Structure 1
């Protein structure tokens, strides 16, 4: 069984991954900025409580990231897999209109936070002799543009470059570096952003119903591929070009299910 650390894992896809790893018998250390959220995540899954532990961590604070590593090592004995999932998306403003504090929050969380985690986890894995380290990418990481995602996409594009650099610098250290592209997953964050600009979301809802998926759909696929991942620099992508094409064709024949109704959208 693997010992897994996931940052930003009290909600959304991070929480989904944590629960799926635990269901499969693996030990998971979760983290987030709120102890209440950590406790809620563990308590809401009592059958898995013995497999899940957690500690608060603001990834923009390197000392807190180090404390997360130390906590995981002490509780699990070793860290086999570390997943940098903590991130922030603000997607309802143009580049000129987005508030300054939202820019700072995204850049600090998505870039600085991930860099801190990679440095701490990679150093720890070098000392223990092995490990797998994953960065969660997203819209914009391949250079594509999406409306309202100018700043967010820039942070993810930067993380793609950073991850490539990490692969080269750690190629002789028995640490496997991977990228994860989870696709368009319906999370609390996506619902929040949609409700902030309902008119815009309703214009895109038909397309979103074709390509979006729930956490429960995506998490098992990602966990399966993370566990068997063995080539540094490769990417795990849920929503690949073939899948997109098939869904678009299928939507012409059969109307997609409304996946957002249960979220009040």
Structure 2
């Protein structure tokens, strides 16, 4: 599943799932752009890849800002070459029930999780269509199927799934595939901030009773990016330990 020599932009790649995808791609010979709001962490992540013998640059971006996104893709092409692979991974999760979530929380969630996918995809495919090839991989969440207290998050990730399907139809004639990953509970530093009692309830709701590893998602992303997936488009691949099939809230 060679992606050697290809240029990949991964948003939200300074840590967690995005970082695992960036490291996996770089280990396969891809030239990686670590795009993240946290400039210093993006630089550090890129330096780790370079220290391991890979090719990477860290670039700052707010995916909800059109000007910032356009600058990101211009710099990525200037430093590494035309973008072959886009991974829309940047996202936030604000857990609030419908009676508690504020306008600002709703708007920010949609801006990053949904508008960010639109802006980055638009910038990427504008170049890809000219070369009639490319891969767009969107990272949604199992939560798009619905979960307690995740009205904003689930809605935004549902929008990501719909965007995947629509963009796949539009880009098919150009040889560009667009697919979606839907992770469940993945062991990341962000998840580990949850109190022990919350983690226990989350694990009890998991059919497999375990957390996924960020590398599980990275391997799935590499498959979608590979030549072997050239006939796969508009699909959602769950990496969720079975939670997309069934989840029983603890207690």
Q: CA deviation at 1:124?
A: 1.5
Q: CA deviation at 1:50?
A: 4.5
- The list of structure 1 runs, each at least 4 consecutive aligned residues, that deviate by more than 4 angstroms after superposition, is 240-245
Alignment of 1:13 onto 2:17: yes
Match of 1:151 in 2: 152
One of 200, 203, 213 as aligned partner of 1:202:
200
Match of 1:85 in 2: 89
C-alpha distance 178-225 of structure 1, shift in aligned 2 (>3 A): closer
- CA distance in 2 between counterparts of 1:163 and 1:81 reads 14
Match of 2:39 in 1: 35
- CA distance in 2 between counterparts of 1:156 and 1:38 reads 24
Aligned-residue CA RMSD (Å):
2.5
Alignment of 1:185 onto 2:182: no
Task: Indicate the SS of the match to 1:29.
Answer: strand
Task: Indicate the SS of the match to 2:190.
Answer: helix
The C-alpha deviation readout for 1:121-147, integer Å capped at 9, x for no partner, is: 111111233211111111333xx2211
- CA distance in 2 between counterparts of 1:118 and 1:217 reads 24
Q: CA deviation at 1:159?
A: 1.6
- CA distance in 1 between counterparts of 2:42 and 2:143 reads 30
CA contact (8 A) 1:222 1:236 kept: no
C-alpha distance 147-201 of structure 1, shift in aligned 2 (>3 A): farther
One of 94, 117, 121 as aligned partner of 2:124:
121
CA contact (8 A) 2:43 2:59 kept: no
Taking structure 2 as the reference length, what is the TM-score of the superposition?
0.85
Q: Which has the higher contact order (CA 8 A, sep 6+)?
A: 2
Taking structure 1 as the reference length, what is the TM-score of the superposition?
0.81
Any residues of structure 2 matched to 1:153-172 within 5 Å, and which?
153-172=154-173
CA contact (8 A) 1:27 1:51 kept: yes
- CA distance in 2 between counterparts of 1:217 and 1:171 reads 27
CA contact (8 A) 2:7 2:31 kept: yes
One of 138, 148, 163 as aligned partner of 1:135:
138
Q: CA deviation at 1:46?
A: 4.8
- CA distance in 2 between counterparts of 1:242 and 1:152 reads 17
C-alpha distance 108-185 of structure 1, shift in aligned 2 (>3 A): same
CA contact (8 A) 1:136 1:179 kept: yes
Match of 2:229 in 1: 229
Match of 1:102 in 2: 105
Task: Indicate the SS of the match to 2:209.
Answer: helix
What is the aligned residue count?
A: 240
Structure 2 unaligned regions, length at least 5 = none
The more displaced of 203-212 and 115-124 is 203-212
The C-alpha deviation readout for 1:140-173, integer Å capped at 9, x for no partner, is: 33xx221121210011111211222212222322
